[in-house]
Structure 1
């Protein structure tokens, strides 16, 4: 049995974390049975973050390692229909989503002042009053340090939105008229792509990055397609 530990559902998407949503989308694309346990504190994870899974008696953390482990242990291969170039393309799309666009998502929720003013009361509304004042500041400060170390927070808002526009345009062109990034059927890249794109396009937030993402009709239709087929 697979148990997925992740944040609770919020913001009109199955999970407000692109990495949690990536893992759960993979489980659905692969047709695997699983159960979910929700956590609010990522520090309870073995690597201090969410998601993580329990596979039988083993705890496995990090979305990329989770998917790799499931593929190897259970004999899965969502990319079996792809040739070598297609597999390389799927990995490149996954890395773009996980290592760049998702970081921009974090910036425009947690660091950008407009995004933070909207995100904070929605995400932390369930905390008791003393914690509601303290926890958001502490988490935001930690994420700001991470964004500075990674380098994104050293750029202006306009520069970051231009980076995002390049990412979104590339994803739109790579998808084209195909229903999935794997072509006629999903591949591993679709888990990562839906994880971040649904959190931009279908999410109830209305920050500058979400507004930009909704300008790409190919990506909007893609999110709606996966939502209707795998999350209805």
Structure 2
């Protein structure tokens, strides 16, 4: 027994559990030369200046048009671009996309910044842009109309938007326009372009089906709904300059304009012009679109 005990004492002790996770010597030497770093998440777009004297609105737009301050070609972006202009907020535009957005969607706004103010580095998401415009604008905009406004907003968010999505994203006649607006500026790789095109079309299809609660898309039904929506909007506008007899244009006017301007925009090479033809049947809506454009882009301000 004594010899056995001496043998046991001679054996090396097993490694402690903590030693199991010790990096092998060759890898340890490698990591000393190339240490692993954990980078913080990007909170701002790469092209954001360190110091911003005016707010910066990031939207879907070409770099050239952004420098000129022209309207975005995306309805959601154009809605808030127009609203901020109506509110009298001085801002500059930057071209961006959803993937580059800290919020995951466009538009978003970066307020004026100073080097020592960390709060100024926080982007303002879409759902806070109305309050930002009211707080930082110059003219007095109309107050929210509550439930009365919601009924008419649903015409834009569903009937007109669904027809817009089909016309731009799913109508074969407008395939070149879709490519020129959203795909060509992104990449020159054919496989990547094909993937992006599929993703855009698939997302539009899903959104339309969800909104209409149908199993398949019926273009005739979508266009009929859009025309009925235009008729309803024309009726509520009447012979007034702005919606709901307001003395000045507000958020709802900007929302309507975001669709009517793009539908009538001569610079967009629409091949499927169904929405354009429908809208021209309501000259009061066309005049409203022209008044907003003149006020925001031709006023010389």
Task: Please give the TM-score of this superposition, normalised by the length of structure 2.
Answer: 0.65
In terms of mean alpha carbon deviation, does 141-150 or 19-28 score higher? Answer: 141-150
Note the alpha carbon deviations across 1:97-148, whole angstroms, 9 max, x for none: 2344223211211023333x34234323444142444422232223323333
Unpaired segments ≥5 residues, structure 1: none
In terms of mean alpha carbon deviation, does 124-133 or 30-39 score higher? Answer: 124-133
Q: 5 Å matches for 1:48-127?
A: 48-55=104-111, 56-62=120-126, 64-71=127-134, 78-80=141-143, 88-115=147-174, 117-123=175-181, 124-126=183-185, 127=187
Supply the distance in 2 between the matched residues of 1:7 and 1:224 (Cα, whole angstroms).
22
Which residue among 280, 287, 297 is the counterpart of 1:221? Answer: 287
Higher Rg of the two aligned structures:
2
The question of whether the paired residues in 1 share the 8 Å contact of 2:89 and 2:136 is answered with no
Supply the distance in 2 between the matched residues of 1:137 and 1:17 (Cα, whole angstroms).
19
Unpaired segments ≥5 residues, structure 2: 1-53, 112-119
Tell me the equivalent position of 1:8. Answer: 61
Task: Please give the TM-score of this superposition, normalised by the length of structure 1.
Answer: 0.82
Tell me the equivalent position of 1:30. Answer: 87
The question of whether the paired residues in 1 share the 8 Å contact of 2:243 and 2:253 is answered with yes
Which residue among 212, 215, 228 is the counterpart of 1:166? Answer: 228
The question of whether the paired residues in 1 share the 8 Å contact of 2:79 and 2:257 is answered with yes
Instruction: Compute the displacement of 1:199 (Å).
Output: 1.6
Q: Report the count of equivalent residues.
A: 223
Instruction: Compute the displacement of 1:26 (Å).
Output: 0.6
Q: 1:188 to 1:121 in 2, by over 3 A?
A: closer
Judging by fraction of residues, say which structure has more strand.
Answer: 1
Which residue among 165, 183, 188 is the counterpart of 1:128? Answer: 188
RCO higher in structure (CA 8 A, sep ≥6): 1
Q: CA-atom RMSD, angstroms?
A: 2.7
Q: 1:76 to 1:91 in 2, by over 3 A?
A: farther
In terms of mean alpha carbon deviation, does 52-61 or 217-226 score higher? Answer: 52-61
In terms of mean alpha carbon deviation, does 203-212 or 66-75 score higher? Answer: 66-75
The question of whether the paired residues in 2 share the 8 Å contact of 1:79 and 1:182 is answered with no
Supply the distance in 2 between the matched residues of 1:76 and 1:224 (Cα, whole angstroms).
20
Supply the distance in 2 between the matched residues of 1:29 and 1:194 (Cα, whole angstroms).
12
